[in-house]
Amino acid sequence: MTLSMTAVRKSYTTAEGVIEILNGIDLDVGASESVALTGESGSGKSTLLHLAGGLDHADGGSVIMQGQDLAKFGERERADYRRTQVGLVFQQFNLIPSLNVAANISFHAKLAGRYDAAWELDLTERLGLAPYLSRFPEQLSGGQQQRVAIARTLAARPPLILADEPTGNLDEATGDAVLELMLSLAKNAGSALLLVTHSMRLAHRLDRKVILRGGRIVE
Amino acid sequence: MRFALAALLSHWRRKPLQLLTLVMGIALATALWSGVQAINAEARASYTRAASVLEQGALQQVVSKGGGGISIDTYGKLRRAGWNLSPVIEGTVRFGASWIKLVGIDPTTMPREGQVASITDGSDISSFFSAPGQLVVSAATARKLRNATDMRLKISENVPDDAAFVDISVADRLLDARGKINRLVVASEQRPGLDPIDQVAPETMLRENTDKPDVARLTDSFHLNLTAFGFLSFVVGLFIVYSATGLTFEQRRGTFRTLRSLGISLPALTTMLVVELAAFSLFSGIIGVILGYFIASALMPGVATTLKGLYGANVPGSLSIRPEWWVSGLAIALGGTAISSVRSLWRVWSLPILAAAQPRAWQRASAKTLAYQATAGGGLLLLSAVLAVTGSGIVIGFGVLGALLLGCALLLPGLLAISLASAERVSRTALTQWFWADTRLQLPGLSLALMALLLALSANIGVGTMVSSFRLTFLGWLDQRLAAELYVTAKDEDQATRLREWLPQHSTAVLPIWSVEGDVFGDQLQIFGVADDPTYRDHWPLIVADDNAWDEVASGKGALINEQMWRRGTAKPGQTIAMPGGWDATVVGIYSDYGNPKGQVIVGIDALVAHYPDVSKLRYGIRVPPESAPTLRQQLVSEFGLPETAIIDQISLKQQSRAVFEQTFAVTGALNVLTLAVAGFAMFSSLLTLSGIRLPQLAPVWAMGIRRRNLALYEVARTLALWLATFIAAIPVGLGLAWVLLAIVNVEAFGWRLPMTVFPLDWLWLGAVALVAAILSILVPVRRLATINPADLLRIFANER
Amino acid sequence: MSAKIMMWILAVFFVTASSGQSQTQGFAGLGSDATGFAIPQSGAALSFPADHGAHPDYRIEWWYVTANLQGEDGKQYGAQWTLFRSALAPGVAQGFADPQIWIGHAAVTTVDHQYVAERLGRGGVGQADVVAAPFAAWIDDWRLAASSGATPDQLHDLSVAATGTGFSYALKLKATGPLVLQGDRGFSVKSASGQASYYYSQPFYQVSGAINVAGSNVQVSGKAWLDREWSSQPLAENQTGWDWFSLHFDTGEKLMAFRLRDDKDGFISANWISVDGKTSPMSKEDLRLEPVRQAKVEGRDMPVAWRIQIPAKSLDVTTQPLNDRSWMRTSTPYWEGPLSFKGTATGVGYLEMTGY
């Protein structure tokens, strides 16, 4: 089992009081498995993703990744975990503005120590990014930037890819194509994929589908 | 309208640090500017007063052609011919422990416009005339003289320190002038139809007051120096204001848009912003002027001593606030703020009402902008070089300086970008590559601060190099020039004669220090006689010399001239110069004569006495083995009966000279530190500004597994790298600056050129100071980053942008 | 005559504020002995040409020429040339140590303007001095000197010249009568308490020459009067001012008259000089002087016109100045200018008024 979440709870304190976001989540993602995470807005999809990515702490329960308990991590281990174990593709592309496309794509792979030039070349060609390698993020369109963000994550070949509406900024046809590509490349890389989407159509293409409602998994 | 203004101003309540930056920027800029202006104005007023009182202002003078002084007969002849002129006998006289410049005047004939009228006017003129004489002195001098003379003391605020006006008969007696008049002051109004002076008295000549332009030129150079520093600091301060206003305007774009959509017209909005800025700049300007006053007060004693030491112009060491400082200080604050905010204002003016409310963070400098800047910088460097080669005059010298500094500053961002790009290319790891790339991304936001830093650092290195070169050369020169162990001054010719008999039995060598003043090539200058002695052959620094220069001098045929005469082109080696009194000498060598504004000629002592038998033979240098100097000194007092005060030993003389010199540049040093501090503050405010827009750039890196602490360290390293690069760039710029100061400005201002000596250890010291400033400037922004709540980073990363 | 002026000059220049100094005592207590100056003695005979020269052992001395001139342009002019000597200490010394101070006053009076100049200098340096024979008195380029050597007296033929802002003159003076000793054979008493000076005059000059005012030359001729006086004794402290007349009658006779004003009825003295130079000293009883017209001059009320009566001579004349504002703007200012008179006799003359 790659990722194993058990009885995970998370709440935020706001001006209106404590809001329970996640209320006892149990979720396992196997190696190379792709799981779609759907639900209404505010159902806690993104928060679940943040917890799995080591970006945030859970209030209760456990998040076990490759046999390691994230709750026991300090900041250093957390950073190591983010660098080596997960790849993030968020709605905001989060590219590094000072690096060009090529450098952005290889950045995470190099940090994770899994840089593979041939694999990267293959990726960029398949994602249609080859003509843009020397451009800077600000010189790209939204779709292009999203593909760079996907390429960056896939290039690092992390055990777990966390994606939050990765094709939200693309039109339907392009989005579908990119998703297909992403799925197949993730399989090639041997990465598990946890993907947040509220499109059921997209959700069906993945191995498994999980629906989140009121901080619990209902399906 | 009131609510609109309140909305605009509410920004500052939320961003007090920004407000502080803005106010501090304007205040610091104004403070340094007005402080320097204050020093300048005060010093100028003081020595103008001193010069005009001592030299009788702009009046022409009649002097003797031969240098021996003007006889009373000649004076009577000129008066009877109808010339309205007044005799002055002057010289330095010792009262107790103090040397006083004695100016003996004749109040019956001194022209009214000669300024001394106010001293000698009035009711107690009888005291001035009657025995035993009256000294008109400043209050400070009076305190010194109180128990040193039985003459009456009258205090006049018009008299500079360490000078005294007396009746000419008293001066004649005290100086043993025997009626030899030093100069005749010519009244500005003369009856028409007078016979020309050189026809009435061919032994004299009319001289425009050459002393005055000389003093003016020297002091001008000093003040130009100060002004340059003041301006530099001001520019550095403006950088701060520029970045502060730019930021506040960017951050309030949303407010501007809202206000406009609520029906506030563009002119009204602009007016409000102008009023707001004007109010800030006036407020900060007031703080700045007050700050400037304190800076000036702190530096003033140094300036007073410097001017006194360098130019003999006495300046009171205290300061009075003058209304013009307020006016100029506030004007410069307003003007500076206007200059640095005009671009931001223009942006508001041209902002479309529906433009995105998102602050665009910082204008990204494209390669094109950098190239454009660098081209301008290159052009300025070229201009600087052309000026250096073709121009002359001290103003051009400073023009060379200005173009050099500004050109280098403009080139800096481009050069940094190029070096950062190369560093990025050769980087092995993703992290270092990112590090350099990200550093390059910060350049536009930091370039103004870095330019300011470059200016401050290179000014520091340049002036430091100049000062150190000066110190080294000057001290070496002192050692050579003050080679004799003891210097004595006889009180009269009788005592001098006895000294000449007594001394040879008690010393290795006796070196007469005798001189006359005379006219050489139309300039009034000193002619010294030197004995033929190994002291001179071994110690005197000759810049250019014939092989047998000293033999030629000893034989009476050769003359040495000082560097000043040579550089001005008055005379050159091999040239025959017509000496006053109708004889010729050939220039056989050039000697360095630092600190002397005038030309000087050295001839053999025998020639001097032969041609000017009346030369005063009172001063001597005495060579003895150094260990027996104290004994001889004692003997001179106890056996020979010379007063203690008539003997100066070499060590104390050197100490005095050294002290004068050290003071000279103390002020420059203080200004250097202040400039650096302002540059540090500019850096701080820029970094602070940048830190606000840094988070979105850093969040993805954090998300990909780099810890906050490391990110903070990278930020520090990034800043230090930029400081280091700027510092390294500042070294050649500073050396260039020093070269211009030494080889162009100094030659134009003082007439001598100093050999440039480089002191890398000083740079290390400066580098350490700069490092501390760098660390201080990054401390606050980095602390913020290192301790930021991960949730904030996450929020930035995940959605809120 | 101008003793008072001299005293003012002394006072302003050398005495006034030196409170507690010996000179103040000298002024108040007539302590001339204390400062070593010689004092005029009654009955001492004057000796010429030696006495034309300076007397450095006396505190004050002057050479004083006034001239009433008629221009070729038909206008009246007055000219004045004065050299004062004032000693800080008796005696002479070489160079700047010399204690003698010299002051020159020169003026040209026209109907509507008074041209004035002043020169100061010190003795011992050749700038100003007086030598008896051949006679020459000078300060700077102002000069009063014997024109030729072979005359009965050094003062017989003189040339006099001075320049100042806006004016200059060069005049020849030719005596048509003898020197006149004032007072008792040259010993002139100046107060009831006996202060006195040595005083002689040459009132018989015929003048010719040229003056230049405001850039134009005018040939002039007329009459001139020279006064010589020296003393060491200041006047009494209660004496406040001084009105002095020198009159040339058309008949050739001359009159010198002065009145010293004090807090009582003043001190009057005069000398009637006949055509051949014979003198008749007069006193208060013989002479009446009374102002008849006041004019505002420099903010002061000056009696510019006078009535002079000498009953014994049946003389009753009224003087009118050429210029009411004949004001000498020198460091010690006073009124001095030419006049003409009418009545039982006519003529011209000079009036000097001080202390107003």
B707-731 confidence digits (pLDDT tens): 888 888 898 898 888 888 888 998 9
- Do A and C touch, 3+ Cβ pairs within 8 Å? The answer is no
Name the least confident of A65-69, B445-449, C25-29, C344-348.
C25-29
- The answer for residues whose C-beta is within 8 angstroms of residue B448's C-beta and 6 or more apart is B239, B242, B243, B682, B686
pLDDT at res. B633: 82
Residue listed under structure tokens 């006072």: C11
Cα gap B259→B261, rounded to integer Å:
5
Q: By CA distance, what is B793's nearest residue in A?
A: A55
pLDDT higher than 60, residue B308: no
What's the mean pLDDT in C55-59?
92
CATH number for position C165: 2.40.370.10
Disruptive mutation site among A14, A98, A105, A108 for chain B (greatest number of B CBs within 10 Å): A98
Between chains, do B80 and C141 touch, taking CB under 8 Å as contact? yes
Between chains, do C125 and B109 touch, taking CB under 8 Å as contact? no
Residues of chain B positioned with their CB less than 8 A from the CB of A112? 705
% of chain B residues with pLDDT over 90? 5
Q: What domain range includes position C227?
A: 3-354
pLDDT higher than 90, residue A202: no
Strand C167-175 and strand C180-181: the pairing is unpaired
Nearest to B434 among A53, A55, A96 (CB): A96
pLDDT at res. B178: 85
pLDDT higher than 80, residue B250: no
The domain boundary, picked from B591, B623, B655, lies at B623
Residue B192, chain C, CB below 8 Å: the answer is no
Cα gap C120→C100, rounded to integer Å:
11
Give the residue numbers in C contacting B (CB under 8 Å), as ranges.
12-18, 21, 23, 88, 94-98, 101-102, 120-122, 124-127, 138, 140-141, 163, 165
pLDDT at res. B360: 40
Is there a domain that residue B619 lies in?
Answer: yes
- The answer for residues whose C-beta is within 8 angstroms of residue A31's C-beta and 6 or more apart is A1, A2, A159, A190, A192
pLDDT class for B303, splitting at 50, 70, 90? low
pLDDT at res. B480: 67
pLDDT class for C293, splitting at 50, 70, 90? very high
Counted across chains A and B, CB pairs separated by less than 8 A come out at 82
pLDDT in tens, B315-337: 555 555 667 778 878 888 888 88
Q: Which residue has the higher pLDDT, C312 or B492?
A: C312
Residue A88, chain B, CB below 8 Å: the answer is yes
Name the least confident of B4-8, B249-253, B664-668.
B664-668
* Closest by CA position to B162, among listed B146, B134, B182, B138: B138
pLDDT in tens, C222-246: 999 999 999 887 666 777 788 999 9
Between chains, do C125 and B75 touch, taking CB under 8 Å as contact? yes
What's the mean pLDDT in A47-64?
87
What's the mean pLDDT in C243-255?
95
pLDDT at res. C308: 95
pLDDT higher than 80, residue B732: yes
Residues B99 and B22 both lie in one domain: no
pLDDT at res. B309: 47
Residue A55, chain B, CB below 8 Å: the answer is yes
* Closest by CA position to C335, among listed C319, C350, C317, C348: C350
pLDDT at res. A70: 86
Q: Are A167 and A202 in contact (CB under 8 A)?
A: yes
Is there a domain that residue B33 lies in?
Answer: yes
Number of domains in chain B: 3
Cα gap B207→B190, rounded to integer Å:
16
pLDDT higher than 80, residue A25: yes
Phi-psi region of B34 (alpha: psi -120 to 50; beta: other; left: phi over 0): alpha
Strand A68-69 and strand A86-89: the pairing is unpaired
Shortest Cα distance from A79 to chain B (angstroms)? Answer: 4
CATH T-level assignment (fold) for domain A3-217: Rossmann fold (3.40.50)
Nearest to A111 among B431, B437, B707 (CB): B431
Mean pLDDT of all residues belonging to chain B: 77
Residue listed under structure tokens 């004083």: C64
Where is mean pLDDT largest: A75-84, C197-206, C265-274?
C197-206
Nearest to B701 among A46, A96, A164 (CB): A96
Q: Are A142 and A162 in contact (CB under 8 A)?
A: no
Between chains, do C88 and B173 touch, taking CB under 8 Å as contact? no
Residues B144 and B239 both lie in one domain: no
Shortest Cα distance from B715 to chain A (angstroms)? Answer: 15
Between chains, do B108 and C140 touch, taking CB under 8 Å as contact? no
Shortest Cα distance from C12 to chain B (angstroms)? Answer: 6
Instruction: Parse chain A into domains and list their residue ranges.
Output: 3-217
pLDDT class for C115, splitting at 50, 70, 90? very high
Mean pLDDT of all residues belonging to chain A: 86
Give the number of other CB atoms < 10 A from CB of residue B662: 16
pLDDT class for B593, splitting at 50, 70, 90? confident
pLDDT in tens, B125-136: 667 777 778 888
Q: Specify the DSSP class assigned to residue C13.
A: I
Cα gap B568→B543, rounded to integer Å:
15
Q: What domain range includes position B494?
A: 486-623
Residues B597 and B514 both lie in one domain: yes
pLDDT in tens, A149-200: 889 999 988 999 999 888 877 788 888 888 888 888 888 888 899 998 878 8
Cα gap B199→B204, rounded to integer Å:
9
- The answer for residues whose C-beta is within 8 angstroms of residue C290's C-beta and 6 or more apart is C306, C307
Residue A59, chain B, CB below 8 Å: the answer is no
pLDDT at res. B667: 64
Give the number of other CB atoms < 10 A from CB of residue C264: 8
Cα gap B592→B746, rounded to integer Å:
14
φ, ψ of residue B467 in degrees (nearest 5): -60, -45
Cα R_g (chain B), whole angstroms: 33
pLDDT higher than 80, residue C124: yes
% of chain A residues with pLDDT over 70? 99
* Closest by CA position to B579, among listed B544, B551, B611, B552: B611
pLDDT at res. B214: 43
pLDDT at res. C12: 39
Phi-psi region of A162 (alpha: psi -120 to 50; beta: other; left: phi over 0): beta
Is there a domain that residue B716 lies in?
Answer: no
pLDDT higher than 70, residue B122: no
The domain boundary, picked from B311, B331, B359, lies at B359
* Closest by CA position to B769, among listed B736, B723, B708: B723
What's the mean pLDDT in B607-622?
86
pLDDT at res. B66: 66
Residue A48, chain B, CB below 8 Å: the answer is no
pLDDT higher than 80, residue B544: yes
pLDDT class for C295, splitting at 50, 70, 90? very high
Between chains, do B794 and A110 touch, taking CB under 8 Å as contact? no
Cα gap B154→B136, rounded to integer Å:
5
What's the mean pLDDT in C125-150?
89
Cα gap C110→B454, rounded to integer Å:
77
pLDDT in tens, C36-48: 888 888 888 899 8
Q: Specify the DSSP class assigned to residue B791.
A: H
pLDDT class for B209, splitting at 50, 70, 90? very low
Residue B630, chain C, CB below 8 Å: the answer is no
pLDDT at res. B230: 65
Nearest to A76 among B699, B707, B801 (CB): B707
Shortest Cα distance from B158 to chain C (angstroms)? Answer: 20
pLDDT higher than 70, residue B311: no
pLDDT higher than 90, residue B743: no
Cis ω before C152 (30° cut-off from 0): no
Q: By CA distance, what is B443's nearest residue in A?
A: A98
pLDDT in tens, C152-163: 788 999 999 999
Residues of chain B positioned with their CB less than 8 A from the CB of C88? 126, 129-130
CB-neighbour burial class of residue B403 (10 A; exposed 0-12, middle 13-18, buried 19+): buried
Cα gap A173→A125, rounded to integer Å:
19
Q: Which residue has the higher pLDDT, B616 or A132?
A: A132
Between chains, do C121 and B79 touch, taking CB under 8 Å as contact? yes
pLDDT in tens, B331-366: 888 888 888 788 778 877 776 665 544 434 334 446
pLDDT at res. C18: 31
Q: Where are the extended beta strands (E) located within B505-608? A: 509-512, 514-520, 523-530, 542-545, 558-562, 576-579, 583-591, 600-604
Q: Specify the DSSP class assigned to residue C44.
A: P
- Residues constituting chain A: 219
Measured between its terminal Cα atoms, the distance across chain B in Å is 32
Name the least confident of B91-100, B169-178, B194-203, B380-389.
B91-100
Name the least confident of A56-65, B224-233, B497-506, B548-557.
B224-233
pLDDT at res. B304: 57
pLDDT class for B514, splitting at 50, 70, 90? confident
pLDDT at res. B74: 92
pLDDT at res. B28: 80
Task: Look up residue C356 and give its two tokens.
Answer: 């107003």
Answer whether 0.90 is exceeded by the pTM: no
pLDDT at res. C324: 94
What's the mean pLDDT in B574-581?
87
Nearest to C17 among B82, B123, B130 (CB): B123
Cα gap C111→A211, rounded to integer Å:
126
What is the SS3 assignment for B153?
strand
Is there a domain that residue B605 lies in?
Answer: yes
The domain boundary, picked from B202, B224, B256, lies at B202
pLDDT at res. C137: 96
Residue A56, chain B, CB below 8 Å: the answer is yes
Q: By CA distance, what is C15's nearest residue in B?
A: B126
Between chains, do A99 and B433 touch, taking CB under 8 Å as contact? yes
Name the least confident of A86-95, C177-186, C313-322.
A86-95
Q: Are B66 and B203 in contact (CB under 8 A)?
A: yes
Nearest to B700 among A80, A95, A106 (CB): A95
pLDDT class for C14, splitting at 50, 70, 90? very low
pLDDT at res. B500: 87
Number of domains in chain C: 1
Nearest to B430 among A53, A79, A111 (CB): A111
pLDDT class for B600, splitting at 50, 70, 90? confident
Residue A24, Cα to own-chain centre: how many angstroms?
21
The residues pairing with C254 across neighbouring beta strands, listed in sequence order, are C248, C273
pLDDT at res. B357: 40
